[in-house]
A and B are shown apart, each in its own frame.
Chain A
Amino acid sequence: MSKPPDFNRQTILMQSERGFKSEIIAAIPLTAKEKLFHIRICDPCERENFTFLPGQFIMIELPGCGEIPISISSSTSNKEFLALCIRNVGKVTGMLHRLKAGAIVGIRGPFGTHFPMEKMTGYNVLLMAGGLGIAPLRAPIYWANNHRSDYKDIIILYGAKEPEQILFGYQFEEWRTIYNLNILTIVQKADKRWPGRKGIITDLFGDIHIEPDNTFAIVCGPPVMFKFVCAHLSTLGLPRQRMFVSLERRMHCGMGKCCRCNVGSTFTCLDGPVFDYWTVMNLKEAI
C-alpha cells in the first residue's frame, strides 16, 4: 500500500524533532577525559541522505538522560559514520563515556552555520585550536585535504595545557606528510620529556609567516583565546571578516526556540556557531 500524501507537511515538521537513531560503533579513549565516538545512523537510507558541512553540530540524545550539542569532527565525505570528540564533563557526557560499542543513541541535525570553505579557495588557511577546540576543526582539515589543490598553505596552530591533553596527536604526522599541512603545537605546562615548545598559542605567531592579504583564519577554543588571538591577527592586518570563530553556549533545541544560546541579538544555534570575527566583536558579550 502506498503512503498517503503528506498534506500537513508532517514529515518535514517532525524530522527536526525526531532525529535519527544511531549506533555507537566505536568509543576510542583519547586522553583521561576525552573519548572519540564513531556513530553510525542505523537506517541505510537516512545515512545516505545525511549531509553536513564543516563546523556544523548535531544534538546527541540519550533517552532518559538528556540531549547535548556536539560538533561533528569527521570528514564530510565520510558516509559511514560521524566522529564526535566528547569530554566527560557533565551528566550526559558522563553517561556517554560509560557506553560501549553497540549502544543506540539519537541524533538530530545537522544544525548551525559552517566554516565557509568555498570562500577560502585560493587562499592560505590558518587554523588555530585551543584544547578541545581541535574537535570542530577536524572537519575543515579533512575538507581541505579532500580539496587540497583549492588552497595554498595550510597551517595549524594547536595549544594545549599539558602534553597528555593533546588530542589527535597520533594524526599529526599523517596530516603533516600526507595532507601537506604545517602543524605546530605548544603546551602551557610540561616536564623535561616534552621536546616541543612551552607557552601560550600566541607565542607561535613568531614561528610562522602570515600574509594578511592572502589568508583566512579559523579559530576555535576557550573564549579567552578568541580575544587574544583575533586581536593579534587584526593587528597583523588580517581583515576581520576573514577570521572565523566557533562559539559555544548552552543549547536545548538547536533550532532557535529555547533561547538558551542567545548572544546579543543572535542565537548561536541558528546564526552560529560559526561567526566571522567582525560579527562577534560587535555582539554584546560574545567573547
Chain B
Amino acid sequence: MRTTHLAQSRLPVLAVLLVLASVAVMTLLVLLPLFTVFHDALSKGVGKYLASIRDPDAISAVKLTLLVAAIAVPINAAFGVAAAWCVARFEFRGKNALLTLIDLPFSMSPVVSGLVWVLLFGAQGWFGEWLIDHGIKVIFATTGLVLATVLVTFPFVARELIPLMQDQGSDEEVAALTLGAGGFTTFFRITLPNIRWALLYGVLLCNARAMGEFGAVSVVSGHIRGLTTTLPLHVEVLYNDYDFVGAFAAASLLASLGLVTLVLKTALEWRHAGELSAARRH
C-alpha cells in the first residue's frame, strides 16, 4: 500500500515533466518542420501554390511516383507474402541467411541500393553493353527507378508478416487441407484472410517509403525533368533552382501522403491490433 501511495504522489510531477519534455521535442523536431513545409508552400498565396502543383513537370513527377509505387508495391507485397510463408512454414538450410538478406536494405544506405543497379545496368556496367546493343534502357529510365524502389522497400511486407505467421502457426492451413481444400483454396480462404490486416499494414509502410524514397532513385534517375524525376527528386530540383514555393508545394504533397499513411496506420493498429504481428500490438 505504501509504495503505491508514494508512487501515486510522486509520479504526476515526474510524468508531467516528461510529457512536457516530449511535447517540446516533438514540436521542435516534427511539428515545426511540418508547419514550415505548409507555411512556405503557401507563403506567396494559394494561387501560386496551386500553380506550382499544376506545373507540367510537377504533374509528371506525381504520375511517375504513382507509377513506380504501383509497380514496386505489388511486387514487394507478393514477394513479402512468399518470403514470409517460406520462413514461417518451412525449416530449411539457410533460413537465417534469408532473414538477414531480407533485412539488408534496412541496414544498407539507399545510395548503395541505387548504385548497384548502375553498376549492373549502367553504360559501363556488367550488362551495360548488352543492353545498349538491344536498345534497352534501364538506368535513367522508369525501369531503373522501379528496380531501385523495389530493392529499398522489400523488407516492409515480409518483416510485418513473418512474426505474425510464425505466431499463428500452420494448424489452420493443415486443417483446411485435411478438409479437402487444395493449395489455392487454402491460401485464398485461410492464409490470406488471417494475414490481411498485417499485409495491409506492411503495404502501407512499403507504399509510403516507395513514394518518399530519395537516395536510391536519385542515383538511377539522372534527374531528367518531366521524365525521370519522382516527387522527392522534383523537390530537390526545384529547391536547387531557388524555386522555394514550388519545392515546398511539392514537399507538401509528400507530407500529406505521410499524414494520410499515419492516420491509416493508426486506424489499423487500433481496430485490428489482434491481427497484426505481436510487435505491433500496442
Q: Do A and B bind each other?
A: no
